[in-house]
Amino acid sequence: AQSVTQPDIHITVSEGASLELRCNYSYGATPYLFWYVQSPGQGLQLLLKYFSGDTLVQGIKGFEAEFKRSQSSFNLRKPSVHWSDAAEYFCAVGDFGNEKLTFGTGTRLTIIP
Partner 1 sequence: NAGVTQTPKFQVLKTGQSMTLQCAQDMNHEYMSWYRQDPGMGLRLIHYSVGAGITDQGEVPNGYNVSRSTTEDFPLRLLSAAPSQTSVYFCASSPTGVGEQYFGPGTRLTVT
Applying CB under 8 A, the residues found at the interface with partner 1 are 6, 9, 32, 34, 36, 42-46, 49, 90, 94-96, 98-106
Nearest approach in angstroms of CB 107 to partner 1 is 10
**Cβ neighbours, 10 Å, residue 25:** 19
Cβ distance to partner 1 smaller for residue 29 or 113 = 29
Nearest approach in angstroms of CB 68 to partner 1 is 20
Cβ distance to partner 1 smaller for residue 81 or 107 = 107
Cβ distance to partner 1 smaller for residue 19 or 101 = 101
- 10, 44, 64, 112 from 94: Cα distances, Å: 24, 16, 19, 33
Nearest approach in angstroms of CB 4 to partner 1 is 8
Q: Which residues fall within 8 angstroms of residue 45, CB to CB, at 6 or more apart?
A: 36, 37, 38, 39
Helix (DSSP H) and strand (DSSP E) numbers for the chain: 0, 12
